[in-house]
Amino acid sequence: MNSKNKKSNKSALHVNKGVDQPPSISPKARKNFQKFRKKSLSLDDYINGIKRGDRAILSRAITLVESSLPAHQELAQQIIEQCLPLAGNSMRIGITGVPGVGKSTFIESLGGEITKRKHKLAVLAIDPSSERSKGSILGDKTRMETLANNPDAFIRPSPSAGSLGGVARKTRESMLLCEAAGFDIIFIETVGVGQSEIAVHSMVDFFLLLMLAGAGDELQGIKRGIMEMADAIAINKADGNNKDKANQAKAEYNSALHLFPPSPSGWTPKVVTCSALHNIDIDTVWKTIMDYKELTTENEYWPAKRNEQAKYWMYETINEKLKSHFYTQEDIKTKLQNFEADVLNNRKSSFQAAQQLLDEYLKK
Amino acid sequence: MNSKNKKSNKSALHVNKGVDQPPSISPKARKNFQKFRKKSLSLDDYINGIKRGDRAILSRAITLVESSLPAHQELAQQIIEQCLPLAGNSMRIGITGVPGVGKSTFIESLGGEITKRKHKLAVLAIDPSSERSKGSILGDKTRMETLANNPDAFIRPSPSAGSLGGVARKTRESMLLCEAAGFDIIFIETVGVGQSEIAVHSMVDFFLLLMLAGAGDELQGIKRGIMEMADAIAINKADGNNKDKANQAKAEYNSALHLFPPSPSGWTPKVVTCSALHNIDIDTVWKTIMDYKELTTENEYWPAKRNEQAKYWMYETINEKLKSHFYTQEDIKTKLQNFEADVLNNRKSSFQAAQQLLDEYLKK
């Protein structure tokens, strides 16, 4: 009560009501923008735009792929179907590494190397965690400035959050559209700490793991199994005082990779050092990727892997959808909790619980 | 014609018809055996028999678990349900290694060490390939002779062939019965070349990988990813001339394991050398396993992992059964082939094909 009195009109602490904040975007501009955005394109507009490599239209087609509106999805599927015969003529490269390893700088540097060689590069990201993708979008915008202004490069930030399966589908379909638009090198970037590396590994031709020297702590963040998927390990920031440490790490990784069983590709994973920031040995990374391409084109592992991947995604999608249909049934959800408790308390065996739930589901 | 003439009755090459071979099993014995086998046991007979550790009855209960007859399966599930409260009080150890690494000799040697310490040991095998399990059965019989005659050990050869899911279920359920019968150490053996290691890893407390010195060629057989699952690597045949090579391999594996990210158990995988044939350092292997038990009991990873595994097998079984129901539908089988061809020929995207198949399946 006291304080209220003090703030009366006559108080020296009284503050007059301020004027309204002006809108941050001019209403007229907003209207124009919305009109522009609403001008919907026909299927043919999309197909022709993509075919002639129109980046604005490619971008809008990817937005359709990422949309969850049924009408958008339907149109997206029609676009994809017509783009499929044009897709596939690219080299798909997965790039992973924990935050702090210098992924954006590396992609800028390798991307510059690639576009210098008359390639057209599209950079996509896969990252199912919403928190992190918000970070990435900002990060990509500020960090990949050179590449973003490069006319031969196309950068698309992570799709908005969703399940890994959904994000993987969106990324794979966006990749097909980029290929149809004439991009012959595709980077797919992940953060190296989650399940998404397996998804990326299953949609690229070459899988590159970025590491730092000083093998101890930096590795902590890399998930088990990722090192075994790598076709090459690039030890970044190999410059200045760090050079010796990087070379030592290279030797260590080389002898560790030697202990892994050989991949069916016939390729032995390579370890290289580089400095993305100072543009040192980035061409060596590119040469390694080219060596891989030569070897696996010759021994026909390349097309075989592509076919395997196309089949993998068909079966993977079926299996995911089967599961999601089962686990989203309301009665199953309730029962599942009770059954889980029964299993943990030794009242039911895991198999009995599963069988009983399945019997009820299939009866319907 | 000529040759026929030569073999006429009058020919010196004529061979008289031999006498009938006597039956290899006396018909009387066979009858007795069948009578004995047919004497069916009641549920209570099974439960009581298992509770008092009757090996013959345990063996027959496992046969029920492995049987595909519905009546057997139903009885088996009832037995398991009643045995569940008695199960779980054991240490479950997975042992893997490629053929030739000396698995059977190792199991005999470590098994002897264990039973000397007043433990009761059950040895089960998981091996979904029919060809190989036939080999194993013979192999186990001739090779594990000492252990087979040890009153504190129970050896059960691989269940007959089947899908990995089926074999895994059988092995896990057999394990529960062995535990209810008082066996407090369970070995689950695999051959280290297939998918089955993941299944075994998901049902044991400790996963031991057997290796040989001379890291190069021997590794070729070990599947990618298995080394990362190992809680310990034992380099076998570290005797005589092989000793130096084994120590060198130990150092190499140690530095390679160092590069892996740490396991959530808080345990750093150990590498030990041993010679199962000459019984050298087998007690070190056992001590390593005990160290693991102590650490993970203290930090409570042990019970947490057990709970995770029980849940894992419930969800895994649900997912397997969902898939098997889908993929065994006759119309789906036919369509799947056409759709696969469409996907490989870029007529459909992997996701479109999956969605269309699912829509049809769920409509029914």
Residue A36's pLDDT band (cuts 50, 70, 90):
low
For residues A175 and B304, give the distance between their C-alpha atoms in angstroms, rounded to a whole number. 41
Residue A31's pLDDT band (cuts 50, 70, 90):
confident
Burial annotation A71-106 (CB, 10 A radius, 16+ → b, else e): eeeebbbebbbbbbebbeebbbbbbbbbeebbbbbb
| CATH fold label, B87-309 | Rossmann fold (3.40.50)
Per residue in A265-287, pLDDT tens? Answer: 999 999 999 999 999 999 999 99
Q: Which CATH class is domain B38-85?
A: mainly alpha
Residue B121's pLDDT band (cuts 50, 70, 90):
very high
* pLDDT at residue A182, as a whole number: 97
Instruction: Locate the domains of chain A by residue range.
Output: 38-85, 87-309, 316-362
Residue B144's pLDDT band (cuts 50, 70, 90):
confident
Per residue in B169-218, pLDDT tens? Answer: 889 999 999 999 999 999 999 876 667 788 888 999 999 999 888 645 44
Nearest CA in chain A to B324: A319
Q: Quick one: average pLDDT of A128-139?
A: 44
Kindly report the three-state secondary structure assignment for every residue of chain B: CHHHHHCCCCCCCCCCCCCCCCCCCCHHHHHHHHHHHHCCCCHHHHHHHHHCCCHHHHHHHHHHHHCCCHHHHHHHHHHHHHHHHHCCCCEEEEEECCCCCCHHHHHHHHHHHHHHCCCCEEEEECCCCHHHHHHHHHHHHHHCHHHHCCCCEEECCCCCCCCHHHHHHHHHHHHHHHHHCCCCEEEEEECCCCCHHHHHHCCCCEEEEEEECCHHHHHCCCCCCHHHHCCEEEEECCCHHHHHHHHHHHHHHHHHHHHCCCCCCCCCCEEEECECCCCECHHHHHHHHHHHHHHHHHCCHHHHHHHHHHHHHHHHHHHHHHHHHHHCCHHHHHHHHHHHHHHHCCCCCHHHHHHHHHHHHHHC
Which of A253, A259, A357 is the mutation pick for testing B, counting most B CBs within 10 A? Answer: A259
Stretch 18-47 of chain B: residues touching chain A, C-beta under 8 Å: none
* pLDDT at residue A229, as a whole number: 87
CB contact under 8 A, A261 and B220: yes
* pLDDT at residue A209, as a whole number: 93
Burial annotation A158-196 (CB, 10 A radius, 16+ → b, else e): bbeebebbbbbbbbbbbbbbbbbbbbebbbbbbbbbbeb
**Chain A residues closer than 8 Å to B326 by CB:** 318, 322
Distance spanning both ends of chain A, measured CA to CA: 65
CB contact under 8 A, A311 and B340: yes
Residue A38's pLDDT band (cuts 50, 70, 90):
low
Whether the per-residue pLDDT at B248 is higher than 50: the answer is yes
Mean pLDDT of the residues in chain B: 84
* pLDDT at residue B140, as a whole number: 45
Whether the per-residue pLDDT at A132 is higher than 50: the answer is no
Q: What are phi and psi of A150, to 5 degrees?
A: -80, 125
* pLDDT at residue B35, as a whole number: 62
Mean pLDDT of the residues in chain A: 85
**d(CA A163, nearest CA chain B) in Å:** 15
Per residue in B48-106, pLDDT tens? Answer: 999 999 999 999 999 999 888 889 989 999 999 999 999 999 999 999 988 788 888 99
Among A59-68, A211-220, A338-347, B287-296, the least confident range = A211-220
Q: Quick one: average pLDDT of B274-290?
A: 96
Evaluate if pTM is beyond 0.90: no
Q: A318 with B352: CB under 8 angstroms?
A: no
Which residues 6+ apart lie within 8 Å of A239 measured at CB? Answer: A275, A277, A278, A280
* pLDDT at residue B27, as a whole number: 75
* pLDDT at residue B260, as a whole number: 73
Sign of the CA dihedral B191, B193, B199, B200? positive
CB contact under 8 A, A252 and B262: no
Q: Quick one: average pLDDT of A114-130?
A: 84
**d(CA A219, nearest CA chain B) in Å:** 6
Three-class SS state of A87: coil
Task: Enumerate the β-bridge partners of residue B153.
Answer: B121
Instruction: Output B34 or A49, whichever has higher pLDDT.
Output: A49
Instruction: Output B332 or B12, whichever has higher pLDDT.
Output: B332
Q: Quick one: average pLDDT of B136-164?
A: 72
Percent with pLDDT over 70 in chain B: 82
Nearest CA in chain A to B65: A351
Per residue in A174-213, pLDDT tens? Answer: 999 999 999 999 999 987 666 778 888 899 999 999 988 8
* pLDDT at residue A9, as a whole number: 57
Whether the per-residue pLDDT at B285 is higher than 70: the answer is yes
Of B319, B326, B350, the CB nearest to A314: B350
Q: B281 with B243: CB under 8 angstroms?
A: no
Percent with pLDDT over 70 in chain A: 83
